[in-house]
Chains A and B, each alone.
Chain A
Amino acid sequence: MADTATATAKRTVKFIIKRQEKPDAAPYTEEFEIPYRPNMNVISALMEIQRNPVKADGAKTTPVVWESNCLEEVCGACSMVINGKPRQACSALIDKLEQPVRVEPMSTFPVVRDLVINRERMFNALKKVKAWIPIDGTYDLGPGPRMAETKRQWAYELSKCMTCGVCLEACPNVNDRSSFIGPAPISQVRLFNAHPTGEMNAHERLEALMEDESGIEGCGNSQNCVRSCPKGIPLTTSIAAINRDTTKHMFKRWLSF
């Protein structure tokens, strides 16, 4: 028993973390070596660094800053690049990661500090495409139309999107030279246009994706998004389906004038 405890105490996990003091500061890397504990994830490792902010070479440093909430891969707050791939730190188990574990912020988004990024552009995109169902009014509108069960089943998959930003990080067309809105909001347009009440405003969401330069046309079909989505959302199917809808809408508008 005592032997096992010593063996566990001796085991360590190496981390190489990309850090940044403030939004406009230059990034730098720091190495950490922390004691191994069974069933660790990247978040618990970051907590250990927070408790004892000492680098691998023994020098003291500031604690690494990160964001996290749910710790069960449903909120999207702890998204970061771990060993080269964007994912949630809470579901990144140390036992399944190659060491040293390389942790970086998702650089598609503005870095606030260390691993904390600003995902505001995703929420702005949801506002732009009106990713909601307008039912507010001055009187009770009564119950809406029913949704077919078969439709509800695939639409539910789209509703799993947690705005984590992984698909935007993986997309080669989301960058500072292009204003492409990214895969996630396009899939949300498909979700809300599939809803029987949401469908009543379908044209507004389609037009939001057609009307200025940051719409659906920025997709270049690299399909990294669908491979990267932690929730397994069929993003490329959503994009192609909305391609079909925007194309139809384009012809419909031309021919109605």
Chain B
Amino acid sequence: MKGNSFYARKIHSLLGVIPLGLFIIEHALTNYSAFEHGKEGFVDSVKGLHGLPLIFFLELFVIWLPILFHGVYGLYLAFTSNYNTGRYSYGRNWAFALQRITGVITFVFVAWHIWQTRVQVALGNTTNEEIGQHMHNIVTQPVYFTIYFIAVLAAVFHFANGLWAFLVAWGITVGPRAQRVSSKICMGIFAIVSVLFLLSLFAFRSDEFAAAQTAVVGLLG
């Protein structure tokens, strides 16, 4: 590949934090409302989000296009790296390898997750109001639950460790002490955001979210 990759890499790094990092936090908080306030709270959060003005353009420019660029360019970066944790089993080298592995997992998962949720809403197979029941039906299946469990951890690690790398790549954390402190903060972010997502996954499994579905089944039956 010939050309300038400095700007491509800088854009890739920036998009990972703004907007994608912010989006993943927003997503964790919205989902967490399912744990904190139950079904009502979750439906309100989703309604609030989808009531934002210019929602289509917000989704397009803040979520879809950044994910597309960050994901496709990221796959290329993962392909151009060697993996030598066997020879150099240092923590940072493991983080380097995991950053690329979790990136690929996240990319595949996000494509599938968008298909399973946003695209189904667009196709009219479910609605924003019923997305909670829709998730309940998905995560009550052990295979899907396992996939979500692993993929959520992978995605959040990729975000948290990517934030650490962002701080280095933009020259914000320069010395070893700054980088050590920032890695502790980023792993703290990994723990907190992971817990938010996992609690909401468990919340979606509760019977409360099954209600409407049984109602529908009842109607059909």
* Of A70-78, A110-118, A123-131, A242-250, the one touching chain B: A242-250
| Residues B168 and A240 in contact, CB atoms below 8 Å apart | yes
CB-nearest residue of chain B relative to A210?
B6
Of A19-27, A54-62, A167-175, which stretch is located at the interface? A167-175
Q: How many A-B residue pairs have CB under 8 A?
A: 114
The 0/1 profile, CB within 8 Å of B marked 1, for residues 62-97 of chain A is: 000000000000000000000011000000000000
Nearest 3 A/B pairs, CB to CB: A244-B171, A222-B96, A217-B9
The contact string, 1 if C-beta is below 8 Å from chain B, for chain A 172-189, is 110101100000000000
Q: Quick one: closest A residue to B5, CB to CB?
A: A213
Judge whether B169 is part of the interface by a CB distance below 8 angstroms: yes
Contact status A237-B84, CB under 8 Å? no
Contact B165 A85 (CB under 8 A): no
CA separation between A244 and B169, bound complex, in Å? Answer: 8
A235 CA to B6 CA, complexed, in Å = 20
Residue tally, chain B, CB below 8 Å to A: 38
Cβ-defined contact, B90 with A213, below 8 A: no
User: Which one of B100, B165, B176 lies within 8 Å of A237 (CB-CB)?
Assistant: B176
Please determine whether A237 and B175 come into contact, CB atoms closer than 8 angstroms: yes
The interface residues of chain B lying within 8 Å CB-to-CB of A163 are none
B78-102 interface mask toward A, CB cutoff 8 Å, 1 = contact, 0 = none?
0111111001101011011101100
Q: With a CB–CB cut-off of 8 A, which chain A residues contact B53? A: none
Chain A residue nearest in CB terms to B161:
A221
Taking CB atoms, residues of chain A closer than 8 Å to B4 are: 210-213
A244 to B174, CA, bound (A): 8
Cβ-defined contact, A220 with B96, below 8 A: yes
Q: Does A9 contact B (CB under 8 A)?
A: no
Rounded to whole angstroms, the CA-CA distance of A248 and B3 in the bound complex is 21
Give the docked Cα–Cα distance between A173 and B99 (Å).
13
A201 close to B (CB within 8 Å): no
A242 to B, closest residue via Cβ: B171
Given A212-B3, A215-B5, A227-B88, decide whether A240 and B80 contact each other with a Cβ distance below 8 A. Answer: no
Whether A213 pairs with B88 at a CB distance below 8 angstroms is: no
Q: B88 contacts which chain A residues (CB < 8 A)?
A: 170, 222, 224, 227-228
Contact assessment for A245 and B171 in the assembled complex, using a CB-CB cutoff below 8 Å: yes
A216 at the interface (CB under 8 A from B): yes
In the complex, the answer to whether B84 meets A172 with C-beta atoms within 8 Å is yes
Closest to A86 in B: B87
A sample of 28 inter-chain contacts (CB < 8 A) reads A84-B87, A173-B82, A175-B82, A177-B80, A213-B2, A213-B3, A213-B5, A217-B5, A217-B8, A217-B169, A218-B9, A221-B95, A221-B96, A221-B164, A221-B168, A222-B90, A223-B96, A224-B84, A224-B88, A228-B88, A236-B176, A237-B175, A243-B168, A243-B174, A244-B172, A246-B6, A247-B170, A250-B6
For the complex, is A147 an interface residue (Cβ under 8 Å from B)? no
Residues of A within 8 A of B95 (CB): 221-222
Which B residues form the contact surface with A (CB < 8 A)?
1-6, 8-10, 77, 79-84, 87-88, 90, 92-93, 95-97, 99-100, 164-165, 168-176, 179
Residue in A closest to B91 when the chains form the complex, CB atoms: A223
* Chain B residues with CB under 8 A of A84: 87
Where the two chains meet, the residues of A that have a C-beta atom closer than 8 Å to any C-beta of B are 84-85, 170, 172-173, 175, 177-178, 209-213, 215-224, 227-228, 234, 236-237, 239-248, 250
- Besides A85-B87, A210-B6, A248-B171, 19 more A-B contacts (Cβ < 8 Å) are A170-B88, A173-B81, A175-B80, A177-B80, A211-B4, A213-B3, A216-B6, A220-B81, A221-B92, A223-B90, A223-B93, A224-B88, A236-B176, A237-B174, A240-B173, A241-B174, A243-B170, A244-B172, A250-B6
What's the least CB distance linking A81 to chain B, in Å? 9
Within 8 Å by CB of A221, from B9, B165, B174, lies B165
Tell me the bound Cα distance from A212 to B173 in angstroms.
Answer: 25
Query: Given the complex, which residues of A lie within 8 Å of B96, measured CB to CB?
Result: 172, 220-223
